[in-house]
């Protein structure tokens, strides 16, 4: 199914120990540009998270926000450093003797000295933690992809309508092109008759001039290629694959053929339709920028 490059997905998981939340947002980008914002405690999983995201997203500027709340009370341990406390106490007593001061040391006072008490985090089961985190990220990714697919279907329908309109313009140019050659021949004959009067017209010369003119304004090749590009774009849109880059290339080729057709035009009607054609191709190109 066709996917837009803009999207949003959010998921969370809560249990007695943890709460994980993951949010994905994305806008257009030529390649996959992934930015991850998460607590430092989860930084060790960055490479695994990036690999996981690539299973769901190929293109876009993607922002992933992860929050983590730890409800466990056993994740840290208070450690009492007996030897350090003893060193403090020894020197405090010595200070009292050296300066004749009253020894007023209490436990509450001694406990405030650096390193007497320290907090140590217990070892975390990284595999179990990432297993929980990956479930939340995958859930967010699935919702994100669903949102992209919904938007992608809307883009596909709009582009197919535009391509049908474009085909109408190309058909008009194809039908009109032979007519302008015949009109040129008739005008040429009229002018020569006005100049020569009753004198005989050189039919071979007329044919030669018409052939030269027809060669200059001929857009048969451009018409064939435009029709081929329209068909290729329709097929790509209906394939449901990640075709954004392919569509962008086809649109560039369409624009090139439209420019050539306009440059060859000496007919007002074809010129006007050619301008409409180029405008429509530009609209198509803008829409394609939103496709993954």
In a domain, 2, yes or no: no
Dihedral of the CA atoms 275, 246, 242, 237 (nearest 10)?
50
In a domain, 202, yes or no: yes
Per-residue pLDDT tens over the stretch 100-141: 888 888 888 888 889 888 876 656 678 888 999 999 999 999
Q: Are residues 208 and 260 in the same domain?
A: yes
Q: Are residues 82 and 208 in the same domain?
A: no
Query: What CATH number is given to the structural domain containing 192?
Result: 1.20.140
What's the confidence (pLDDT) of residue 218? Answer: 80
Q: How far is CA 45 from CA 120, 137, 140, 217, in A?
A: 21, 12, 17, 63
3-state secondary structure of 157: helix
In a domain, 31, yes or no: yes
Whether pTM exceeds 0.75: no
What's the confidence (pLDDT) of residue 163? Answer: 96
Could you list the residue range(s) of the whole structural domain that residue 66 is in?
Answer: 7-72+125-148
Q: Are residues 68 and 196 in the same domain?
A: no
Q: Are residues 63 and 84 in the same domain?
A: no
Contact 28, 290 (CB under 8 A): yes
Tell me the residue ranges of DSSP E strands in 152-256.
none
Per-residue pLDDT tens over the stretch 137-184: 999 999 999 999 999 999 999 999 999 999 999 999 999 888 887 766
Q: Are residues 130 and 250 in the same domain?
A: no
Q: Are residues 202 and 172 in the same domain?
A: yes
In a domain, 143, yes or no: yes
What's the confidence (pLDDT) of residue 199? Answer: 61
* Number of domains, the chain: 3
What's the confidence (pLDDT) of residue 123? Answer: 67
Task: Kindly list the averaged pLDDT for each block of 10 residues, start to end, along the chain of length 292.
Answer: 91 90 93 94 94 93 94 70 90 86 84 84 78 95 95 94 96 88 70 65 70 76 94 91 89 94 87 94 93 89
Q: Are residues 262 and 136 in the same domain?
A: no
In a domain, 1, yes or no: no
Q: Are residues 26 and 143 in the same domain?
A: yes
* Cα–Cα distance for residue pair 292/288, rounded to 1 Å: 9
Beta strands 76-80 and 60-70 are unpaired
């Amino acid at each position: 199914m066709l996917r837009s490059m803009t999207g949003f997905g959010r998921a969370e998981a809560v249990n007695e120990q943890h709460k994980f939340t993951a949010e994905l947002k994305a806008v257009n980008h030529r390649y996959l540009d992934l930015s991850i914002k998460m607590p430092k405690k989860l930084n060790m999983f960055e490479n695994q998270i990036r690999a996981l995201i690539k299973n769901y997203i190929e293109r876009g500027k993607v922002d992933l926000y992860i929050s983590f709340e730890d409800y466990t009370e056993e994740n840290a341990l208070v450690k009492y450093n007996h030897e350090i406390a003893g060193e403090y106490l020894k020197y405090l007593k010595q200070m009292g003797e050296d300066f004749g001061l009253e020894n007023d040391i209490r436990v509450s006072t001694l406990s405030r000295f650096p390193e007497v008490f320290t907090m140590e985090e217990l070892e975390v089961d990284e595999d179990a933690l990432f297993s929980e985190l990956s479930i939340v990220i995958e859930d967010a990714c699935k919702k994100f992809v669903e949102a992209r697919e919904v938007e992608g279907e809307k883009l596909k329908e709009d582009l197919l309508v535009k391509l049908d309109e474009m085909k109408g313009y190309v058909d008009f140019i194809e039908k009109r092109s032979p007519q302008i050659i015949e009109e040129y021949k008739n005008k040429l004959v009229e002018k020569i008759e006005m100049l020569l009067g009753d004198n005989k017209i050189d039919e071979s010369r007329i044919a030669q001039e018409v052939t030269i003119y027809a060669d200059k304004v001929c857009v048969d090749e451009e018409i064939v290629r435009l029709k081929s590009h329209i068909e290729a774009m329709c097929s790509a849109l209906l394939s449901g694959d990640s075709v954004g880059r392919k569509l962008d290339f086809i649109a560039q080729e369409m624009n090139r053929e439209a420019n050539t057709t306009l440059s060859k035009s000496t007919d007002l009607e074809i010129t006007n339709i050619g301008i409409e054609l180029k405008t429509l191709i530009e609209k198509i190109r803008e829409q394609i920028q939103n496709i993954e």
